[in-house]
């Protein structure tokens, strides 16, 4: 399961996985950001907040995840990974070589710092 919160006035999407990721989670993600991207060129940022990577329910979900990344990574300016998990802390080093956004890790106690970092490139709606 993947909770999604779009701060549409800033162009920031917050993702919080709480269980095995399903294909429907990524379909919902596309439905959440497509209307925003129809009116704006990019998302200022995406923030992933997770205690650990929950994995995928099945191969279909993993493929849907990869397709979503392929479709949208060029339209995202920054990606913040907020976690104290060792694997997720190392994720930005790996992912930064593969995707367009600037990627940075923050510990769970730095949640507000991560949000501030994303807001550096946010353009408030109407400007």
The CATH number given to whatever domain includes residue 10 is 3.30.750
Is pLDDT of 66 > 70?
A: yes
**Domain membership flag for residue 74:** yes
| 8 Å CB contact between 71 and 47 | no
**Domain membership flag for residue 27:** yes
Q: What is the pTM of this model?
A: 0.89
Is pLDDT of 115 > 90?
A: yes
The DSSP letter of residue 16 is E
Q: How many domains does the chain have?
A: 1
Structure-token pair, residue 2 = 């993947």
The DSSP letter of residue 100 is S
**Domain membership flag for residue 125:** no
**Domain membership flag for residue 127:** no
Residue 32 lies in domain: 2-119
**Domain membership flag for residue 54:** yes
**Domain membership flag for residue 124:** no
Structure-token pair, residue 39 = 């009116």
Which of the four pLDDT bands, split at 50, 70 and 90, describes residue 124? low
The DSSP letter of residue 75 is G
Which of the four pLDDT bands, split at 50, 70 and 90, describes residue 100? confident
Q: Is the dihedral of CA 106, 32, 23, 17 positive or negative?
A: positive
The DSSP letter of residue 108 is G
User: Residue 106's pLDDT is what?
Assistant: 96
Q: Bigger pLDDT: 92 or 47?
A: 47
**Domain membership flag for residue 59:** yes
Q: Quick one: average pLDDT of 48-59? A: 93
Is pLDDT of 107 > 70?
A: yes
**Domain membership flag for residue 126:** no
Q: Dihedral angle at the C-alpha atoms of 69, 70, 75, 76, nearest 10 degrees? A: 30
């Amino acid at each position: 399961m993947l909770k999604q919160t779009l701060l549409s006035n800033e162009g920031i999407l917050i993702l919080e996985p709480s269980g095995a990721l399903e294909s429907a989670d990524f379909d919902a993600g596309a439905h959440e950001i497509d209307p925003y991207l129809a009116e704006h060129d990019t998302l200022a940022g995406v923030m992933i907040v997770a205690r650990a990577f929950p994995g995928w329910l099945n191969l279909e979900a993993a493929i849907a995840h990869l397709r979503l990344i392929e479709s949208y990574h060029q339209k995202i300016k920054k990606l913040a990974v907020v976690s104290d998990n060792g694997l997720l802390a190392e994720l930005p080093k790996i992912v930064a070589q593969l995707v367009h956004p600037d990627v940075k890790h923050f510990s769970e106690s730095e949640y507000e710092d991560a949000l501030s970092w994303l807001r550096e490139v946010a353009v408030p709606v109407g400007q």
